Amino acid sequence: MLLDANESQLVLVDYQARLMPAVAGAEAILKNALLLATLAQWVRAPLWGTEQNPARLGQNPPEWRALCQQTLSKMAFSAVREGLVNCLRAPAPQAPQGNARSLPRHLRKDPVRKDRQERNSIVIAGCEAHVCLLQTALDLLDEEFEVWIVTDACGSRAERNRDAAFDRLAAAGAELVTTEMVGFEWLGSAEHPAFRDFQGLIR
């Protein structure tokens, strides 16, 4: 099973100014998260951010905060418990309007446009991997989303906590991937208009 950009959304969890200095390997993690945000823009995948108690921990980096459809402030560790699913799910289709001469209901076509169809593959990365990322991802699995964890864009203060989170997520049914895996699968071909730009960023 490969990632399809047309069925994907990206969620970036809690890369906040006062948290990241304590995260192991923070520089590489932030670089990969920014690359994911850039890729999402290139393939037109919706991008969502979360921030844990931003009044205390600060905001996510402004470079990709500006690219997000929305940044969800939260106090619960799982963003799902603060309304993330409402962001990720496409709005319910509107009932077609008509008059007495309209077709019977069973003959009407579904009015949902292709660009509003649900994107069920959630590519997610963030910090801390064993707390907010883990709890959000597990809740997304419970909501029957396909969850793809971008391991090299995730971190914790201690690597043993990060690795334990990956083990638990894999056992729960999440797919573990890397930033380059996401990029090559989203682009799909060396003929994609963004391929050379992507190649330049990963060299």
Confidence of residue 202 (pLDDT cuts 50, 70, 90): very high
List Cβ<8 Å contacts ≥24 apart for 193-200: 193/42, 194/39, 194/42, 194/43, 197/42, 198/39, 198/42
Give residue-wise pLDDT tens across range 150-197: 999 999 999 999 999 999 999 999 999 999 999 999 999 999 999 999
Instruction: Please give the mean pLDDT across all residues of the chain.
Output: 89
159 part of a folded domain: yes
The CATH number given to whatever domain includes residue 162 is 3.40.50.850
- Would you state the pLDDT for residue 117? 57
CA nearest neighbour of 65 among 47, 83, 80, 53:
47
pLDDT at 26 over 90: yes
Give residue-wise pLDDT tens across range 82-127: 999 999 996 644 444 444 444 444 444 444 444 445 899 999 999 9
- Please report where in the chains the tokens 């921030």 appear, as a residue: 51
pLDDT at 142 over 60: yes
141 part of a folded domain: yes
CA nearest neighbour of 27 among 71, 67, 66, 61:
61
CA–CA gap between residue 97 and residue 95 (Å, rounded): 6
How does DSSP assign 17-72, residue by residue? TTTGGGSTTHHHHHHHHHHHHHHHHHHT--EEEEEESHHHH-PPPHHHHTT-SEEE
Confidence of residue 203 (pLDDT cuts 50, 70, 90): confident
193 part of a folded domain: yes
Going across the sheet that includes 8-13, the strands are: 70-74, 47-52, 8-13, 121-126, 146-150, 175-177
Write down the pTM of the prediction. 0.86
80 part of a folded domain: yes
Count of structural domains within the chain: 1
Range of the domain at 146: 5-89+117-202
52 part of a folded domain: yes
Confidence of residue 147 (pLDDT cuts 50, 70, 90): very high
Strand partners, 72: 50
- Would you state the pLDDT for residue 14? 97
Q: Quick one: tokens of 162?
A: 């990060």
- Please report where in the chains the tokens 């106090």 appear, as a residue: 75
Give residue-wise pLDDT tens across range 65-75: 899 999 999 99
189 part of a folded domain: yes
Q: Quick one: tokens of 78?
A: 């799982």
Query: In this structure, what is the dihedral angle of CA atoms 184, 70, 144, 159, given to the nearest 10 degrees?
Result: 60
- Would you state the pLDDT for residue 56? 95
Cα 90 to its chain centre, rounded Å, is 15
Instruction: State residue 171 phi and psi, 5-degree precision.
Output: -65, -30
107 part of a folded domain: no
- Would you state the pLDDT for residue 122? 98
98 part of a folded domain: no
